[in-house]
Amino acid sequence: MFVKSIIAGILFGFLAYIFFFYYNIKQTSVEDDLEQNIILSWKNKVKFPATRFRKLAVGINSNVDYIVPGLDLLKKLGLTPGDMKDHKILLSLNELQETFFHFFAKGSAAERVYDNPDVFGQIRQTAESLDTIEQYIGGNAALIAAQTAALFPNVKILFVGPVGPQLRSLMPDAIEIPESSRIASDEVHLIMEYQVGDSWGGVVTTVANRFISSYDESNSQLTMLDTFFEGVNTFQPDLIVISGLHLLDGQAAEFSGAKVRTLVAHLQAVPHLDPIHLEFASMTNQAFVKQLVHEVLPNIDSLGLNEQELFVSSAACGGPHSSDLGAEGQPVIHKVTDIILWLLKTFGQSETHPQSRLTRIHFHSLTYHIIGTKGLVWNNIQSAVAAGASRASHQACDVEELNSDIVDIKIPLRYKLFTGDEERDFNSSEPVTYFTREGYHFAFSPVLVCKKPLKTVGLGDAISATGLMYSEFMVKNTHLYGDDFF
């Protein structure tokens, strides 16, 4: 009897071991399959719309990006770790270190302008002396034009912005650049990149990102504004994309206000059949942001922005979750959808604002994207959000094909769609979520974050360009170009 008990115990233990072994394998397999399920779902989900944009006009900011390892540049400048402080405008080398360190510790992307050409000239010369410097197309508008040309070669593109000799040699030949856009000397922006595990002042980064600084004259004064709309009138595009307004952020209120009023007059002259997309970028002056939201947003059809730009817009205009401006970590999903809905209802097309054109917002962050639209003005938004998220992963990893070994999902696996909703479980087999609220339509997709990112600059611009090309503007649905257009 005693022997039988021992044998039974051994057998029970063996069976328990087998159960827990296979249970753990199953759990690990499910965990490992999350990323692969998303990749496969994206491939099945992304479809071109029936109506596609064929002529794109893009402006207004452009420059040459100097891309350098941020810590190498600081050391070459003789700078050492010091205080963390967010300076809205940069005047000195020390303010560069403090502002870079502030965002380095957060792992957040940021952009600041210099108001001292001599100091920026010193930094530029030091960057040029680094062996690791890389030079690329820069400026949101120029990057959107270049990305679209690369990804959608059958789209005809007009680009208007300050284009110097070096930038002209970098831009794709297929892009039309009028002589009126040419300038004698290139504008330069400095991209200070850092990688996961980089250390400065005892802080070790957990994400890869970049800090941008610049001093320029053409972009910061929007000197090409009138030239751009002259080109639009001649080119007759079916989609207009504008970026660069953020560079007015550091200008005097009287100057920036006058430029915004000039822009609004141009926008109001564009027929409603031709959608206008505005791409935001980093801004800190809430009075200026408030002016853009109140005066510009009702005169555009589509807006692209990230978490910093979304929360500063809400804070500047008395919207929801304003206190989250500057919060660390990735933005909370339901707070983002709350703000998107508020922006669309408050400044977008509605019964109380019938003259507003705004009907689409594309939010993009490191870990997920959301597109919100009014009614049925835009179609194919599930494909658009998936295409944008997929493009972010491809570009960051710099690969043609994604696989689960090189990317991670970073969103919480339980989340709410809006404040007050019940939490839902994330389903990796159906990662693109479509939902409605108060007559507004939303599509959500996670981003697969690259474990070892190789290209962090221009991700937002590539995302917005891709999302737009997969979107269908239903107001202008009579131009069907055929299945083989792309």
Q: What is the rounded distance in angstroms from the CA atom of residue 367 to the CA atom of residue 393?
A: 10
Residue 339 structure tokens: 């703000």
> Which positions are catalytic?
461
Q: What is the rounded distance in angstroms from the CA atom of residue 387 to the CA atom of residue 43?
A: 9
Residue 414 structure tokens: 């339980």
Residue 290 burial by Cβ neighbours in a 10 Å radius (0-12, 13-18, 19+): middle
Q: What is the rounded distance in angstroms from the CA atom of residue 268 to the CA atom of residue 136?
A: 34
Beta bridge pairs of residue 134: 67
**CA angle 36–388–44, rounded 5-degree value:** 45
